Amino acid sequence: MTFLTLQRTILGPVQALHEAALRVTAGELEQRLRSQRRDELGALANAFDAMLNRLQETLVSRNLLEAEMIERKLAQAEIQHINVDLEERVRQRTAELQAANLELESFAYAVSHDLRGPLRALSGFSQALLEDYGERLDGEALDDLQQIDIASRRMGELIDGILTLSRSTRGALQRDPVDLSALSTRLLAQLAAIEPQRRVVWEVAPGLRVLGDPTMLEVVMANLIDNAWKYTGKTSDSRIRVYSENRDGTRWLCVTDNGAGFDMAYSERLFKAFQRLHRQEEFPGIGIGLATVQRIVHRHGGTVAAEGMPERGATFRFTLPEAAASQELTKI
């Protein structure tokens, strides 16, 4: 074999491979040998080209991965910035809400404090006039004076209602086990002791246990049971029931009665403060109890609803998160 043949067949391809390797070392990954030979040197050149293809693909993937990592870091930084901004906004809104609540409480206290004095004076003077000059007044003047006294007392009750509503959800919310069965039984027994002349059949299902604020939930049950007791006052066979039921997988705690009931067409007024569906002379009250119930239930994250029919009674039900009965409900 002559030197020229050796150079063309062996030394030349080896030199080309060497030079290509040097260019790869310098970072030139685009060049290829593209050998047409079918011998070992051709196979080596093709393997070299295949290696460059894989290396270039790897570098492209690495560049894409680095770009994606940069984008993710930028996105994470943006999310962190948004979270910080959101937390600051929540903090500001919370502070504004707390300030508004304090201002409302201050206003309610100021209203109570500033109006009670004049109301006491008005009521006191009207009582003094009735006692000292009642016999000298004619029928119309006496009625007017009595109406002044009644109105001043009514105004005092409304002021008490404002304070009750403003205080109904004040303070930290506790999450403790509450036995609504025992609580309802105690409340109904107290009402029965206060009015022993009434014959009311009442039932409390056992095992009505929930998680919530004990003080607030007592206010809820007291208002619902007091309403049931009051609105069955003109029913001969008064019945009140406290129980639980499942509706579409949700457990509702219920207080139902067979009393005066209400027209569902006006049900949206039930939970508004100072809104009443019955005349004062029929059933006394200021219309603050159900508004208080709704506020407390909503603060617990629950829902309150009502159903009724005139002269056929009413049912008030509410849900509480994690509310559960410990056993099947049965009548006592």
Partners of 256 in the β-ladder: 241, 315
Residues 303, 318: contact at Cβ < 8 Å? yes
Nearest CA-CA partner of 188 in 238, 263, 126: 238
The Cβ of residue 262 has, within 10 Å, a number of other Cβ atoms equal to 23
Instruction: Tell me the CB-side half-sphere exposure of residue 98, using CA atoms within 13 A.
Output: 8
For helices 12-25 and 40-133, angle between their N-to-C axes, nearest 10 degrees: 20
Contact of 191 with 227, CB cutoff 8 Å = no
State the pLDDT at residue 224.
94
Query: For 218-268, what is each residue's pLDDT tens digit?
Result: 989 999 999 999 989 888 889 999 999 998 888 999 999 999 888 888 777
Higher-confidence residue of 277 and 262: namely 262
pLDDT of residue 101 exceeding 70: no
How far, in Å, CA of 151 to CA of 119, rounded? Answer: 9
Answer yes or no: is pLDDT of 328 > 50: no
- The two beta strands, 239-247 and 201-204, are parallel
Cβ atoms of 244 and 325 closer than 8 Å: yes
Give per-residue pLDDT as tens, 32-77. 766 767 777 777 777 877 877 887 788 778 888 888 889 888 888 8
Higher pLDDT: 161 or 118? It is 118
pLDDT at 4 over 60: no
Instruction: Find out whether 33 and 61 touch, Cβ atoms under 8 Å.
Output: no
Which helix (DSSP H) or strand (DSSP E) does residue 188 occupy? Answer: helix 180-194
Instruction: Identify the pLDDT of residue 330.
Output: 34
3-class secondary-structure state, position 201: strand
Nearest to 216, CA basis, from 320, 141, 309: 320
DSSP lists the bridge partners of residue 325 as 208
Tell me what the mean pLDDT of segment 310-316 comes to: 90
**Mean pLDDT confidence for 185-196:** 92
Nearest alpha-carbon partner for 292 in 231, 230, 228, 222: 222
Q: What count of other Cβ atoms lies within 10 Å of the Cβ of residue 24?
A: 15
Which is more confident, 9 or 80? 80
CB atoms near residue 111 (< 10 Å):
15
Give CA–CA dist 205/187, Å, rounded: 14
Domains for the chain: give ranges and CATH numbers: 176-325 (3.30.565.10)
Task: Please say if the pLDDT value at position 297 is more than 50.
Answer: yes
The pLDDT tens digits for 11-44 are: 666 677 667 777 766 667 677 766 767 777 777 7
Q: How far is CA 224 from CA 47, 76, 92, 149, 197, in A?
A: 87, 51, 36, 30, 21
pLDDT at 141: 81
Structural Rg of the chain based on CA atoms: 41
317: burial class by Cβ within 10 Å (0-12, 13-18, 19+)? buried
| Cα dihedral 277, 282, 286, 289 sign | negative
Indicate the SS3 state at residue 324. strand
Q: Per-residue confidence at 326, pLDDT binned at 50, 70, 90?
A: very low
pLDDT at residue 304, rounded to an integer: 93
Whether 293 has a pLDDT exceeding 50, the answer reads yes
Query: Measured between alpha carbons, how far is 230 from 221 in angstroms, rounded to an integer?
Result: 14
Mean pLDDT of the residues in the chain = 80
Give pLDDT, residue 191: 92
30 or 4, which is more confident: 30
* pLDDT interval class at 125 (50, 70, 90): confident
pLDDT of residue 48: 74
